[in-house]
A and B are shown apart, each in its own frame.
Chain A
């Protein structure tokens, strides 16, 4: 079963705009990860945030985590056409690094 739910399911923006995706999950977690998937490169790890962290940055990516609300957000700033992909949050709650993925947000960035 899916642990996380991403919101929105689909997002369409222009190049240069920011994109925000949200993820909610159900059980307590050790960490939460975001992955990107496109037809060219498959699933690629983007960023990991641990349960005791509240915010993390990596390049144009900013991730927040609110464990009290069981939610996370991924912000992509100054989006590019190459950011067009599906974005998934994945939680690790069992300590075995068994990832539980959400259904994903499909992002389209138009030139």
Chain B
């Protein structure tokens, strides 16, 4: 069973550097979501895709953040000019389609900005 996978699992970077994370959803899942989770808190919605179309972006997603899903399969989340406040777990989830409410989460990418 190939669930949602994320790469890398851990990333340590210096402030000001750019980082890119990848998410591979469950195959045939049309919807893909990105969330951010900080210690002791629940995940916070960042953005989501229906196939290759990015349909909504949270106000949390500043202009330093960009997400793509070029072919409607995998997705990338890039953070430019990282700041210490970007340190968090970045979670990806997918669901089959608009009528499927259950989301399947990946293991996350833990970002540490030093």
Interface size of A as a range? 20 to 34
Q: A21-77: which residues lie under 8 A (CB-CB) from chain B?
A: 31, 33, 35, 42-45, 48
Q: Which of B88-113 contact A (CB under 8 A)?
A: 91, 93, 95, 98, 100-108
A45-B45 CB under 8 A given contacts A97-B31, A98-B33: no
Q: Tell me if B56 and A98 are in contact (CB < 8 A).
A: yes
Q: Are A92 and B101 in contact (CB under 8 A)?
A: yes
Residues of chain A with a CB closer than 8 A to B44's CB: 2, 101
Residues of B within 8 A of A43 (CB): 43, 91, 93, 105
CB nearest neighbor in A for B60? A1
- The yes or no answer to B41 lying at the interface (CB within 8 A) is yes
Contact flags (1/0) for B54-66 with A, using CB distance below 8 Å?
0110000000000
Q: Is B21 an interface residue (CB 8 A)?
A: no
- What is the bound-complex CA distance between A23 and B45, given in angstroms? 18
18 contacts between A and B (CB under 8 A): A33-B101, A42-B105, A42-B106, A43-B105, A44-B105, A48-B101, A88-B43, A96-B55, A97-B98, A97-B100, A98-B48, A99-B35, A99-B45, A99-B103, A100-B45, A101-B43, A101-B44, A103-B42
Interface of A toward B, CB cutoff 8 Å? 2, 4, 31, 33, 35, 42-45, 48, 88, 90, 92, 96-104
